[in-house]
Structures are given as structure tokens and as C-alpha cells.
């Protein structure tokens, strides 16, 4: 692999988007936590992304794809390798027909909900308030109040990098993605570029009510005033991770500035200068307590990324 400055220069020469060296990740995550990424690239369109993957196919470098960083815990040491941030430069949205939308992965979930509700298209109105990009939402098969983004997905366009004819742009059907609770199948050298979603015709007023209801519920029960990454753990089958943590008396428990929210026990909030190591220690503590007292092993929903070493 080339040095990071050399690689940044080589990428910068070929793409329009921004390329940064030692980019602080805390500013790019909703947790407001995380050390620097060696390299951060923000592609400004499909052409940029394809050029970038051509370069990556020739380099031996770790790559992390991110959207709005709302489901990530980035380590304090930061990320070795390259981060591709899919955002505003890849957020086009186009209605192909009355109920079929073609939309890029950098578009926000909230924008798509607004656009569909306005047109009387149902199926994702209850996802309003999820602060992610569509790329991140499909990767996580994000869901709320009985709706999941994957249910409306028709197909995904995936960019793959790697040697020879492995790289390029490919279409994947939903069966290939194997969408399931907060996960789907995607190889490490693949990322989402765009999607087609088909929605259900419904009454715009009713949809708007459901959208508002979902937002109201979030504001009532989630600590939205504090930096967090949403639910820390997945709900075990038939159970609520938040309830399990609450039953162990852990609401308000803290490690440094990382605190288990009093409002929702499955949220860890950053009450100031929490480090990733503190969040992780608190996660371990919650996991151990829930296992010891309730006999249930919680599984992380948030993604731990970056270089951890002996931080824990």
C-alpha cells in the first residue's frame, strides 16, 4: 500500500469529491466519538465512486463504507485504511412511476419518507426519525414499529472492488441480500450505490398521521437530546433488550461520560466527552449483568469499527 498522503493525492487527482487525511471521525458520527480515519473520501457521484473502486482494486487497503454514522462506534485510535462516506454527492431521488422510486444510497431515510408520504405511498412512514442514509438503513435492514426498510426494496445496485472482473457495478435482488433482523448479506468489498423501492398506495393524510405518531413516540421515549447511536443491542427473539437491561437496575449506570439512558435502557448516551473505550466497557458491563441475572446473551446492534488494540 502507498503512504496515506501519496494515496490521497492519487485519489484526489481522479475524483471530484473531497479527500481528507487523518479525518476526525467524532464529527461524522451521531455518538460524537471516534479517532481519526487515515483517509476519508466523499464521492460526488457514480463516476467518482467507480473511479475510486478502480484505484482500490489495485491497492491492498482496508475499506470501511459509511453513511451518516448513526449506527457506528468508532474506536478512540480511529480507523486504519480508507473510509468512503456515502452522502450528499450520492443522494439523487427519482420516481420511475407512481409507486416505484429509484434512489441513491446517500439519500436520508427521512427524505424518502417525506417524499413518499406526500405522494400517498405507504410502507416506510413509521421509519421517520431514523437518522441514517438509505445505504446504512438497507445494510442494517433498519426498522421501527413493525416496518422494515427491506420490505419495500425491489433491487439494489452494488459497487464491488477487487482484482480483475470482480470489480464493477452489479444488480442484486432481495433474495441475494437475504435481508433479516438488523442485517443483510453484503461482502466486505461491496457497497450500495442505489436502490429501487416499490411502495403501497395509501391515503396521504393517514400516512402523515402515522409519520407524526412515530416521531412523537421517539421524542417521548428516546433520549434524542444526547449523542448516541440508537439501540445498542438487538432485541432477543420475543424480548426487549431495553427491558432486560432495565430489570438489572442499570438505568443511569455510567463509565466516564458514557451513560445508560434513564429514558431508554437500550441507549447509551455520550454526556460530554465519552470515549469509545468507556462506551465499550459499559456495553460489556450491561451484557455481563443481563447474562448473569436474566440468562440472556445480548448481541450488539451498533457496529464497532476501527483499531481497538488493548483499549478495552
Regarding 11 and contact with ligand FAD (CB under 6 A), the answer is no
Cell readout for 154 is: 425491489
How many chain residues interact with ligand FAD (CB under 6 A)? Answer: 33
Taking the complex as a whole, the smallest distance from the CB of residue 109 to ligand FAD amounts, in Å, to: 6
DSSP 202: -
Cell readout for 285 is: 458491563
Q: Which of 72, 274, 290, 298 binds ligand FAD (CB under 6 A)?
A: 72
Q: How far apart are CA 41 and CA 66, in angstroms?
A: 10
Taking the complex as a whole, the smallest distance from the CB of residue 62 to ligand FAD amounts, in Å, to: 12
Q: Which of 132, 150, 242, 306 binds ligand FAD (CB under 6 A)?
A: 132
Taking the complex as a whole, the smallest distance from the CB of residue 254 to ligand FAD amounts, in Å, to: 19
**Which residue has 458520527 as its cell numbers?**
29
Q: Which of 75, 133, 147, 275 binds ligand FAD (CB under 6 A)?
A: 133
The region of 32-40, 130-138, 257-265, 273-281 touching ligand FAD under the rule CB under 6 A is 130-138
Q: How far apart are CA 304 and CA 276, in angstroms?
A: 9
Per CB under 6 A, contacts with ligand FAD among 134-163 are: 135-137, 139-140, 142-144
First to last CA, the chain: 29
Q: Given the complex with ligand FAD, which of 225 and 295 has the nearer CB atom?
A: 225
Regarding 66 and contact with ligand FAD (CB under 6 A), the answer is yes
Cell readout for 273 is: 466527552
Regarding 71 and contact with ligand FAD (CB under 6 A), the answer is yes
Per CB under 6 A, contacts with ligand FAD among 223-252 are: 224, 228-230
Q: Which own/partner contact pairs does 210-215 have at CB distance under 8 Å and 24+ positions apart?
A: 210/125, 210/126, 211/113, 211/114, 211/117, 211/125, 211/126, 211/128, 213/126, 214/125, 214/126, 214/127, 214/128, 214/129, 214/144, 214/145, 215/128, 215/129
Q: How far apart are CA 81 and CA 62, in angstroms?
A: 5
Regarding 65 and contact with ligand FAD (CB under 6 A), the answer is yes
Regarding 33 and contact with ligand FAD (CB under 6 A), the answer is no
Active site residues: 182, 231, 301
Amino acid at each position: 500500500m502507498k503512504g496515506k498522503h501519496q494515496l490521497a493525492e492519487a485519489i484526489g487527482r481522479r475524483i471530484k469529491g473531497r479527500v481528507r487525511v487523518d479525518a476526525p471521525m467524532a464529527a461524522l458520527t451521531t455518538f460524537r466519538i471516534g479517532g481519526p480515519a487515515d483517509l476519508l473520501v466523499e464521492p460526488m457521484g457514480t463516476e467518482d465512486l467507480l473511479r475510486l473502486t478502480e484505484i482500490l482494486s489495485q491497492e491492498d487497503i482496508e475499506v470501511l463504507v459509511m453513511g451518516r454514522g448513526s449506527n457506528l462506534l468508532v474506536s478512540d485510535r480511529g480507523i486504519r485504511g480508507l473510509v468512503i462516506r456515502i452522502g450528499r454527492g450520492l443522494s439523487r431521488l427519482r420516481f420511475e412511476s407512481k409507486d416505484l422510486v429509484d434512489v441513491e444510497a446517500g439519500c436520508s431515510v427521512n427524505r424518502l419518507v417525506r417524499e413518499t408520504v406526500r405522494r400517498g405511498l405507504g410502507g416506510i412512514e413509521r421509519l421517520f426519525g431514523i437518522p441514517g442514509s438509505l445505504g446504512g438503513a438497507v445494510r442494517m435492514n433498519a426498522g421501527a414499529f413493525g416496518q422494515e426498510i427491506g420490505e419495500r426494496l425491489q433491487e439494489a445496485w452494488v459497487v464491488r472492488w477487487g482484482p480483475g472482473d470482480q470489480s464493477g457495478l452489479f444488480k442484486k435482488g432481495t433474495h441475494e441480500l437475504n435481508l433479516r433482523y438488523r442485517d443483510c448479506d453484503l461482502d466486505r468489498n461491496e457497497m450500495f450505490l442505489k436502490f429501487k423501492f416499490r411502495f403501497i398506495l395509501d391515503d396521504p393524510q393517514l400516512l402523515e398521521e402515522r409519520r407524526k405518531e412515530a416521531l412523537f413516540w421517539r421524542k417521548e421515549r428516546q433520549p434524542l437530546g444526547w449523542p448516541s447511536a440508537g439501540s445498542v443491542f438487538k432485541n432477543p427473539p420475543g424480548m426487549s433488550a431495553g427491558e432486560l437491561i432495565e430489570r438489572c437496575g442499570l438505568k443511569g449506570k455510567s463509565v466516564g461520560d458514557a451513560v445508560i439512558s434513564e429514558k431508554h435502557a437500550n441507549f447509551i448516551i455520550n454526556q460530554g466527552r465519552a470515549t469509545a473505550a468507556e462506551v465499550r466497557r459499559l456495553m460489556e458491563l450491561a451484557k455481563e449483568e443481563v447474562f448473569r441475572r436474566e440468562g440472556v446473551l445480548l448481541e450488539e446492534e451498533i457496529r464497532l469499527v476501527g483499531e481497538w488494540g488493548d483499549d478495552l
